Structures are given as structure tokens and as C-alpha cells.
Structure 1
Amino acid sequence: MSDQSAQRHRRDSSSRTLADYPRPSVAVDTAVLVVDPGAESLGVLQHERPHGGANAGEWALPGTFLHEGETLADAVLRSLAEKVGLRGTRPQQLHVFDDPDRDDRGWVLSVAHVVLVLADDVDPVLANRPDVRVVPVENAAGQPFGHDEIVRLAVDRVQQDYALRPDPAHLLGDQFTLKALQALHDAVAPQPGPGEARPSIDTFRRYMVGRGLIQPTGESARKEPGSSVMGKPAELYRRSADVRDLTEVLGVRPVRKDRSRADRGADASGPAGSFRGLSGHKVNPHIQRLVDDVGTRVPLTLSGMPHYVAVRPAGEERVAAYARPQTLSIGLDPDDAESVGAEFRSFRLERTSAATHHVHVPMLALAEPVERRAAMAALERALARVAGSS
């Protein structure tokens, strides 16, 4: 008997061997996120499940069960080649999904992976595989086996990575133009909301170069043969060894247009100590009452802006929360925000940066006493966090 076989048959303190314990099947599922800088879009690759198998005809992420003696990485590469015809990628582990009831077929533990690829690299696959498609990430809903949650986590991971570093997936290679880098980051980042805009190329350059995140190589990009573009060739850049936080310019929250006080509309007012002292805003009364109730215990400064009311501790510059027309967005430490988001599913968690996550509390949730108390407590912690950091 080999040493390995002997280990398998060795009994533990309860006189059982490894074979006596029930074990789940192990699967790998991969979110292949497809970025198209030209269209400023982020999609996910799906394949149509074959007829004769489970969930036949449904669109899902590529995945497979782990074979005996196979590593997770090998299983991922095999599934991508077989299910969607994709080769030459380097997926990264994302999360282990271990809910025993997640798969109708039985006890299946899924090790989710994520990889970001350019649309140009996927186009040849789409041209030859009618059972493969790319859909916008926001439309990837109703997938089997909990794949919707995998896509959500994958998008969060990629957006966080691109909020913190210039092209961490190295899709542009070692050298790139500033315009190409900005187009890539704009495509990965969430779409701007009302009243928000992407950073201009000058703002992008000021942050990237001014903060030492990228450096000029001293070389220029070559013009394509037959190109009609006039003027000086674009300068090439490379990543710096010093990696810093890019959230202010790229982050998960798009950069808001600068507007001088004179440019603000009539909906901008303040500062005031409570909503009773503000006018012209459109914040829901339920949110107003919650903030004002907290203000009876913690002195506040409220400043009306065109699309929200900024909530600060009195005498502080940093904002603890944003009161929007239908939502209260509270800035918390990442661990605190994760805990609140996991406990209250009616709240939406946004992993805004490495230092701060936002918990978005919808107005409708405040009708429930438990959720309202949780939102008040979270706002008080956010205010204390801001006051304690000064």
C-alpha cells in the first residue's frame, strides 16, 4: 500500500477514514468580463447550456466540475477552452460559494474566478460560436447556479482594482498613451449618474502624472500606416512602481463636474444645522426626519448641493453622508459597511474605495423600525468616524 493510500485509510479519533465523510462536488465558474474602451462598455461572456443537460438552453457563465487529480487553475482553463473557446487568459480566484442549497443538482461547492479581457480578443470567438455571447453586466440576470452573484462580485472586484491602480490587468501592455488608458478606465468604471461626468483628459493627466502613478517613457506612439491623424504623435507612458489610491479621479464613483457657487441652481442652499433650515432640496421627508433625529444628539452641518445634501459633523469639512432625494448614502469603514450590508439586504453596499464603503439606505426601508434604527446607528458611526479623523 502506498503512503498516499495509507493516509486515506488512516482512522481519526472517531474511527473514521476520509472516505467516511460526505464530500461536496467541486466546481469552478468564471466571470469573463469583456471591456470595450471604444464603446465605454463592460460586458460578461455567457454560453448557452447544451441540450440534454441541466438547465438546457439557459445562458450561464462557463464552468465545469473538478476532475480527479486536476488543479483549480487547470479546470478553469479547460472550461474556458471547451465552453467558450477562449484560450491564453489568466483568471484569478474571486470567491468560494459554499451554500449547500445553491445548486439543485446536489451539494456543489463553487470556486468562482474572474478575468478581464478586451472586446477585440473575444470577437473571433463570437464570430464562430453561436452558443456564446456577450451581454452588458447590468443585464446578466436570471442565470442558473447563483451566477448572478458571481458577476456582481466580479464587477465589484475589477472596478475596485481599476480604482486603485492604472490598468492592473495590463490589457494595454507595458506602454500606452494617456488617451488609451483613460478610455479603458472609463469603460470599466460605473456609468456616471445624473449631474456627474467623467474626468477630462487634463484632469486625468494631472492625477496620473502629477501623483506619480504613471511616467512618460520619452517615446512617442507610432502612427498607423495610412493614418490621416495630423499633429504630434501621442506620448507613451508606463506604470510607476509606486502604486497609490486613484479613487478620487477614477474610482467607483464617477467624478462630479466642478461647479462654482455662482453656477449652482436654486436647489443649492445652506449650510444649516437641520433640514428645517434648508430650502430648495428634494430629499424625501423620511430621510429628513432621520437626519434631524440624529442631529438632536450630534451637532450637524447640512449643505445643500444641486443633487444632494451633504451631512457633516458641525465644524468638519469631510462629508459623512449624502442625503439624496430617495436614498441616504452613509460612508463607513469597509468592515463596518460589509457587516451592515450583510445584515440588512434592503440596504445596498457600494465598495467605493479601499478606505471607505458606502451603505445606501433607500427611503422605503426607513418605514421599518429595525431598518430605521440601523440606519440611524450607521449615520452616527459615520459622523464619529469623520470627527475622529480630524
Structure 2
Amino acid sequence: MATPAGYKHILDNLTTAVLVLSGDLKVRYLNPSAESLLETSLTRIQDSPVLNLFVESDQALETLQNAAANGQSYTKREAEFVLMSGSRFVVDYSVAPLGNEAGDLLLEVQPRDRLLRISREEEIISQQETTRILVRGMAHEIKNPLGGIRGAAQLLDRELDSEEQKEYTQVIIAEADRLRGLVDRMLGPNRALRMAPTNIHEVLERVRTLLEAESRGRLHFRRDYDPSLPEFPGDMEQLIQAFLNIARNAMEAAFEQRDAQGLRNGEPPTITFRTRAFRQFTIGSRRYRLVCRVDVIDNGPGIPPDLLQNIFYPMISGRASGTGLGLSITQSIIGQHHGLVECESEPGCTNFIIFLPLEETE
């Protein structure tokens, strides 16, 4: 028969996060998995209210109190925990009374972030492929009649004697060329990648230099680089274009808001470049030994929630002056590098997250 010490040994070796709360919702016990998940230690948090450990919602706290008072068990799916450090993550958790006189509760917590992220990434990659097929088909259908229109206008232009009438044919030719250029931009880069050893920080520094020149010093930059990141196979010019599209969008949105509303809390338009390394990281259906994560963060007005899910589609833009092609091209370039682009946004903070494998890919 197992002793209490034996039960503790079992709990300490579980990969599931386990917590024991007292009837008044104070922390009695955390196993090592819970300490890792909740970024604390039992020594630090023991006998403290659970609100000192994480915050969910007022309704969730009332449900916990009812469970302690009435001996009710329940399970909650995809709840968001907010730690005192500000970290947020999604979990499934179950609550069960231990049945002792103290009214203790047992919490089993399963993190869901990784599974949700993989599912979201697979959906994004599927959307990318669908968009690529749609755009290529549409471009083919547009280019063929455009070529005919342009050719007919050129033939007509040669037959006309009146310079006034030739102005009309020149307009037709110019507009056909403009539409062809627009379609080519929708298709993204029209040459194969020229792969060579690439340093991600050289890419970001080139982007910073270009935007500092464009903004004439009005745009502030913060850099938070991981110097341990190795070089990886990439097309530097294409990657510069990809990151430039993101950062330029951020700059233009921040300047538009500044011109309309003035400085936000006295803070000038600022872009932050952050790089980190992740080991054993999954992108889509493939697991990589080492991946680079790049965050491009701005303090602009944010992206409206109804637009956020569609910003990588061609011709979708949140700015009146935008063409809606920059992010689509960025996604195409990063996709060719077997990477992924995501976006999180709220007023005052928009973060484009780019993952790039740091190893040779087929």
C-alpha cells in the first residue's frame, strides 16, 4: 500500500501540472511540472492565495469557491491563465474535491498553447497555399486579355494620324502596363531564391538603416538580439524585402496615427526588433532542431480584429493609402524559406512573429 510520501513521489514525477488548494483557495502543493508551467516554486507560493499565482476570471474564481464549498467537480476547456509576470497561456484544467475535512481541491492543468499553435499554423499554411493557387489562376486569366488589349492599342496607335487621338491609345497602353505590374506584384518574387549563408541580424540592420533614412530620424528603433543565432541558408535580398514590408507598414501606420492624434502618451513611433532561438520547434507538420523567432513590434494604433485574420490576403489593407500587397509578398517569401508569419495586435502594440528554420531544408 502506498504511503503519503509514495503518493508525493508519484505526483512529483508526473508531466501533468498538479496543484492542491485549501478550502479558502490557498496553495498547499505544486508538483515540479506546475512550478515550471506557472513560473514559480512551492517554497515561494505555499500558503498564499491562488490569485498570487495566476488570474483567470471573476466567474472562474466563484466556481472554484463553489467547488470547495459544495464538493463539486468540473472541467474547463481552453481557459486563459495570466501569471503575475504578465505571461498568458491557454490550458484545460479539471477541479476535484479531495474529500478531506479541510475541503482541499485538486487541480490538474494541461497546457494547450502548443497544440493550438500547431493547429493555427497548419491552417495558415493551408490558407497560404489556397491563396497562392487562387492568385496564380487569376493572374493567368488577367494577363492574357491584357496582352491582347495592349497589342490592339499599339496597332491602333500606328494607324492614327491625330496626336489628340493617340493620347487615348497611350492611356490604354499605360493602364494595361500598370495592371500587368500589379498582377506581377500579387504573384510575389518572380525569380528563384539565391540561397547563401545568411545572418538574420544583418537583414534586420539593413531594414533599420533603410527606414531610418526614409523617416529622417523620426522613427525610433529598439534592438533585442540573441547573438548566439547562427547563419542559415537564405536569400538575403528577398528576406530584406520581406522584413521591410512589415516594418514599413508599421512605420506608416504609426505616422498616420501621430499626424491624426499626436504622440501616444508622449512616446514617439517605435519599432522593436527581437530575435530568439527555439529548439525542437514544429512549423506546420515538420519539426526542426533549431528555429529563429523574429518579433517586429510597433506601438502604432493596432489592427482591427475583423481585419486581423485576413491581412495576408492580397489587396487587403487597413490603410487608405495601402495596396494590400506587402504582407502577401512577405508571406510568400517566408513560405519559400519554409518559415511562417503570424500576427498579434491590440491598440498600442502590434507584433509580427516570423519563424525561420536555422538548418538546411529540402
Same fold, TM exceeding 0.5? Answer: no
Q: In which range does the TM-score fall when normalised by the shorter chain?
A: under 0.3
Q: TM-score, normalised by structure 2?
A: 0.26
Q: Pick the structure with greater CA Rg.
A: 2
Q: TM-score, normalised by structure 1?
A: 0.25
